[in-house]
Amino acid sequence: MRIKITLLLLIILVLSFILPFTTVASEINLGVEESYVMDTAGLLTLEQQRILESRARELSTTYPCEVRIVTLNNIRDFDYSVIEYFAYNMYLEYDFGYGKDKDCVLFVLSTTNREYDFRVWGDYAKNVFTLYGIDDILDNHILKELGNNDYYVGFASYLDRSEIYFRMAERGKPFDRMTDPATKRTILIVTAFFALTIAQFLCGRWKKQMITTKTAKTAGNYIPAGGFRLIGQSDVFTYRTITSVRIDSDSSSSGGGSSSSSGGSGGSSGRSGNY
């Protein structure tokens, strides 16, 4: 009897983890036609959405990976409290992704609590969007615009940066720490600094070796071999110095001080948070 109760509890526990990714997923319906830019929160004008939709569709058909944007007012309207779960079930419910690995990069935005989730599925997509690249695209291009409520510029930056990542991956050099042009510039500056320092040190050493004369402490080198003999002497008056001192009857003093101061298959990768 005890074994049966234990098995029943285990089944309930397993179902508690499975159900949020199965039954809840079928309940997601944003009420708009599926597109690459699904702005259900109404953050964009019709013209802005048209431009972004065209841009996202172009990237998704040029490279074997879908690039999508989803905005909504509140994930809690769909009984979700964790935006990563919402993004995952959105990906399943709408069958996002390209090819057998369902490669996709999805940016989800929930405006009520200013939450976001950036999620990547599929081996190809995860090769293009490395963890270093995800941090770069979020911190340096998307979030700083969203923080100012400039959603169109933030989404446009997301798509533009994605194209750079795709192109670098196609050349066999996915965007990462060592392929980041900013890292290369830093390495170049540091290398040039050390090269200049070493060159300055070596030139200083060589310059010292080239100076063969030294200041003599005595005049022995200038005395003839037979010695020095004084044959005459005289006193010549050249100038005189007069010093005067004023004597006051009253005396005064002053003082001061100083102060200082100092001063897809195989799971997904991504990142979520607040903007």
Report CA torsion sign: 178, 179, 181, 187: positive
Percent of the chain with pLDDT over 70: 60
The answer to whether residue 220 is domain-embedded is no
What per-residue confidence (pLDDT) applies to 266? 64
Beta strands 115-121 and 268-274, pairing class: antiparallel
**pLDDT, mean of residues 46-68:** 98
What per-residue confidence (pLDDT) applies to 175? 98
pLDDT tens figures, 160-195: 999 999 999 999 999 999 999 886 444 444 443 444
The answer to whether residue 217 is domain-embedded is no
Cβ neighbours of residue 114 closer than 8 Å, sequence gap 6 or more:
274, 275
The answer to whether residue 190 is domain-embedded is no
Find where tokens 């997509």 sit: 125
- E-strand stretches of the chain: 37-39, 66-72, 104-110, 115-121, 268-274
Domain region containing 126:
31-180
pTM of model > 0.75: no
pLDDT tens figures, 190-220: 443 444 445 465 556 666 667 666 666 666 6
What per-residue confidence (pLDDT) applies to 182? 83
The answer to whether residue 88 is domain-embedded is yes
The answer to whether residue 131 is domain-embedded is yes
Q: Are the beta carbons of 52 and 159 closer than 8 angstroms? A: yes
Report the CATH number that the domain containing residue 85 is assigned in CATH.
3.10.310.50
**pLDDT, mean of residues 66-79:** 97
**pLDDT, mean of residues 138-159:** 98
What per-residue confidence (pLDDT) applies to 3? 61
Q: Based on the structure, what is the number of domains in the chain?
A: 1
Average pLDDT over the chain reads: 79
Percent of the chain with pLDDT over 90: 57
**pLDDT-based confidence at residue 275 (cuts at 50, 70, 90):** very high
The answer to whether residue 133 is domain-embedded is yes
**pLDDT, mean of residues 244-251:** 48
**pLDDT-based confidence at residue 122 (cuts at 50, 70, 90):** very high
Q: Is the pLDDT of residue 91 over 90?
A: yes
The answer to whether residue 152 is domain-embedded is yes
